[in-house]
Amino acid sequence: MNKKLLGFGLAFLLANPLFSQKVAIEKAFNNQSALEDFRYLASDELMGRDPVRPEIELAYNYIASELKKAGAKMIPGADGYFQNIPFRMSSPPSTGQIKLDKNTFEQGKDLLVLDGKSISGSYELVDVGFGLEEDFQGKDLKGKIAVSNVGAPDRFGPADLFALGREKTARAQESGAIALIERFNVPSVPWQLVSNFLNRPTLGVDQGESSELTYIWIKDMDNGVRSAMADQSISKADLMISGKTNKNIDGKNVVAWIEGTDPQLKNEYVMLSAHYDHVGVGRPDAEGDSIYNGARDNAVGTVAVMNAARFFAKNPPKRSILLALWTAEEKGLLGSAYFAENPLIPLNQVIFNLNIDNGGYNDTSVITVIGLGRTTGDDQISKAVSEFGLKAIPDPAPEQGLYDRSDNVNFARKGIPAPTFSLGFQAFDDEIQKYYHKPGDHVENFDLDYAINYWKSYILAAQLIANDSSKPVWVAGDKYEKAGKDLYGN
C-alpha cells in the first residue's frame, strides 16, 4: 500500500469516533478477569446456580463483590447490592384428589395443586368465569371454592396464566373463598408439558396471605366441567389434598448503578441485564454428568453485564447505567418480574433494556438480537457489533417465542424497549439443542475468542445507546408501542 494512503487511512480511522470507542473498549477490557468470571460461574462448585440450592449464594455474592470492586454504586432502597425477594417453594401433595360428580381428578394426571395449604372435605363451587375483578363482584364465596377458567379472554400465554392466577388467588382470598380451582382449557399450551413442569416443587413469590389459599388446576380441555357447571349438574366438590409442604427461600437479584455524566441525561437509565441462575442439578447425561453448568445459559450473559460494569464505572456514558442480574429466570422469569413490579428506579426513567439470555450459538460471525426490527435502537446495536466484525441478525426462530420467554418481556410489557442480545444462531437447531439445558453446557466447549468479541460488542452497543442524544422507542405498530407511550407519556 502507498505510504501516503496508509497515513490518510490511519488519520481517518482515528478521527472516526466509533473506531476510537472500540479501541478504548479493547484497551480496557481485561480478558483474564472476564474468563475467570465465566469459568467460576459455570463451575461445578456452583452446582448449576439453582435459586433453591444453597450454592446460589456463591453466585450472587461473587457477582455483587465484583460489581462493588468495579466501582458500581448501590441503589438507594436496595439491600447493599441485592434486591431481596421472598420466594416460596411449594411441593406437590403426597395425596391429591378431587371428585366432581362421577369424575375423579388425580394429582399429576389431570390435577395439579399449585400452591396453598392441604385441604379435605366437601365444598360448594361457585363459577367466577375468568376470575376477573368484575367476575367476583356480588358473589357469595365465603367458605366455598371459586372456579374459573385459566387466563383471561385475550391472555393465554404461559406467563399470563401464572400472572393472572396470582391475581385470582388474591381475589379469591379476599372474597373469603377457601380455594381456587382453575379449569385448564388452553389448547395452545399442552397439558402434558404443563403437568411435567408443575408436578414437582415449584418456586413462586410469597404473596403473603393469599399464598395460603389452596390453588389448583384441573384439566378441562373439552370444557366438560365448564358446561357441567353452567347447567348446574356439578355444584359440589370432594377434596382430598394432604401432605403439602411449603418452604420460604431468600431470592436475590443483584443490582447496582453507574451515574451518567450529562447533567440532564443522567436522569435516564439504560438497563443492562442478564439472568444469572440456571437449572441446577438434574438427570445425568451419557457421561454421568448431572450438573447443568449453564455456560451459555446464562453465565456468558452475566459476565457481559459484569464487564460492562467494570468498563462503565471507569468510562461513564452520558446516561446512567442500571446493572441487573436476575435470579430465577428459569423458574418463570421470577426475579425480573419482581423488579418490574417493585422497581428500585422508576421505570419511566429506564429508557432502554439491553438484556442478555442464551440457549447457545451456531454462527460465530453474527449476534442474534431477539427483538431486532422492533425498536429504533437497532442502528446503534448493528453499528456496534459490526465494529467487531460481527453482524446483527433478527430472531431466526420466531416459532420458539423467545422474545416472550425471557426477562426482557417483563419490561417490554411495561413499555420499555427491550431487545435481547444473544449469541449468534441462525436456527434453533441440533447444534443449539446439544447444549441447551444440558449438563454439557460447559466453558470448555465454548469458543472463547467469540465470547470475548461478544462481550466487547455488547459494551459498545450499550455505550452508543447510553450516549445517543435521542432515545430509542418502539417502532410504530409494535405490540408494545402503546405501553411505551403510556409509560413515558408521549
Contact residues for Zn ion, defined by CB under 5 A = 297-298, 357
> 156 vs 436, which CB is nearer to Zn ion?
436
Task: Output the smallest distance, CB 264 to Zn ion, in A.
Answer: 35
> 162 vs 217, which CB is nearer to Zn ion?
162
> 298 vs 382, which CB is nearer to Zn ion?
298
> 169 vs 298, which CB is nearer to Zn ion?
298
> 175 vs 327, which CB is nearer to Zn ion?
327
Find cell 441503589 and name the residue: 75
> 273 vs 380, which CB is nearer to Zn ion?
273
Task: Output the smallest distance, CB 297 to Zn ion, in A.
Answer: 4
> 333 vs 350, which CB is nearer to Zn ion?
333
Task: Output the smallest distance, CB 408 to Zn ion, in A.
Answer: 11
3-state secondary structure the chain: CCHHHHHHHHHHHHHCHHHHHHHHHHHHCCHHHHHHHHHHHCCHHHCCCCCCCCCHHHHHHHHHHHHHHHCCECCCCCECCEEEEEEEEECCCCEEEEEECCEEEEECCCEEEEECCCEEEEEEEEECCCCCHHHHCCCCCCCCEEEEECCECCECCHHHHHHHHHHHHHHHHHCCCCEEEEEECCCCCCHHHHHHHHCCCEEEECCHHHHHCEEEEEECCCCHHHHHHHCCCCCEEEEEEECCCEEEEEEEEEEEEECCCCCCHHHCEEEEEEECCCCCECCCCCCCCCECCCHHHHHHHHHHHHHHHHHHHHCCCCCEEEEEEECCCCCCCHHHHHHHHCCCCCHHHEEEEEEECCCCCCCCCEEEEECCCCECCHHHHHHHHHHCCCEEEECCCHHHCHHHHCCHHHHHCCCCCCCEEEECCCCCCHHHHCCCCCCCCCCCCCCHHHHHHHHHHHHHHHHHHHHCCCCCCECCCCCCHHHHHHHHCC
Task: Output the smallest distance, CB 298 to Zn ion, in A.
Answer: 4
Using CB atoms within 10 A of its CB, is residue 349 exposed (0-12), middle (13-18) or buried (19+)? middle
Task: Output the smallest distance, CB 188 to Zn ion, in A.
Answer: 22
Task: Output the smallest distance, CB 437 to Zn ion, in A.
Answer: 9
Task: Output the smallest distance, CB 279 to Zn ion, in A.
Answer: 9
> 111 vs 356, which CB is nearer to Zn ion?
356
Task: Output the smallest distance, CB 141 to Zn ion, in A.
Answer: 39
User: CA 28 to CA 321: how far, in whole Å?
Assistant: 18
> 297 vs 395, which CB is nearer to Zn ion?
297
> 357 vs 387, which CB is nearer to Zn ion?
357
Task: Output the smallest distance, CB 275 to Zn ion, in A.
Answer: 6
Task: Output the smallest distance, CB 69 to Zn ion, in A.
Answer: 26
Contact 320, 467 (CB under 8 A): no
